[in-house]
Amino acid sequence: MKIDKTTKRWIRNEADEKAAFAGCRVDESRGQFVIDWAKENLVLWEGECAGQPLIATDWQYDCAIRLFGWVRKSDRWKREIRRFREALIGKPKKNKKSPTVAWWMLYLLDGDGEPGQNCYTAAKDGQQAMIVQEHAIKMVQGSPTLGQYMRINKTDKSITVDETNSK
C-alpha cells in the first residue's frame, strides 16, 4: 500500500507505520479544524494568558493533529473515523495539560458534530479530574459562543448541550 506524503510526515513510531500500511492516513485539515475551533471558541481563564483565546502550543498542536487527524475508513460507519479512541499523554507539571483536556472534551461535545456524546474525565484522583472539569466550565462561561447554548449544572458540575443531547 502506498503511503501519502502527509501521512509519512506524521509517522513517529512502528505503530504509526503499521497503521499507515493497514490503511490509516493523516488528514491534517481535521486536526487543524480542532485547533482553529479552540482559538475561535475558547478563552483561557487563569495565569498570564487569562482572557486570551486558547492558541495551541507546539506540543498541543502535535497532539491535536495526531489525535484528530489520523483517520481510517470504517465499513460499519461508511465514512472515515478517527484512528484513536483513547490517549495517554505525559507532560511535566505546568504544561497546560488540564486546559488541553478540557479543550478536547468541549470540542467533542460541540465541534465534532456527533449527537449524544458522553465525555468523562478520569485522573489519579477525583481532585485532579475536577481541575479539568473546572477548566471546561470556566472556558464555557468565558466563551461568547459556547456560553449561549452549553448549560452548566452547578450541582454535579456537568456541561450539557441540549441541542445534540451531549453531556
pLDDT on residue 83: 97
Nearest to 43 by CA among 145, 148, 166: 145
Which pLDDT does position 126 carry in this prediction? Answer: 82
Greatest alpha-carbon span in the chain: 53
Q: Give the model's pLDDT for residue 87.
A: 87
Q: What whole-number distance in Å separates Cα of residue 108 and Cα of residue 143?
A: 16
Residues 6+ apart with CB under 8 A from 75: none
Q: Which of 50, 10, 59, 56 is nearest to 37 (CA)?
A: 56
Q: How far apart are CA 161 and CA 83, in angstroms?
A: 25
Taking 70 as the pLDDT cut, the residues of the chain under it are: none
- Residues 6 or more apart in contact with residue 125 via CB below 8 angstroms: none
pLDDT at 89: 87
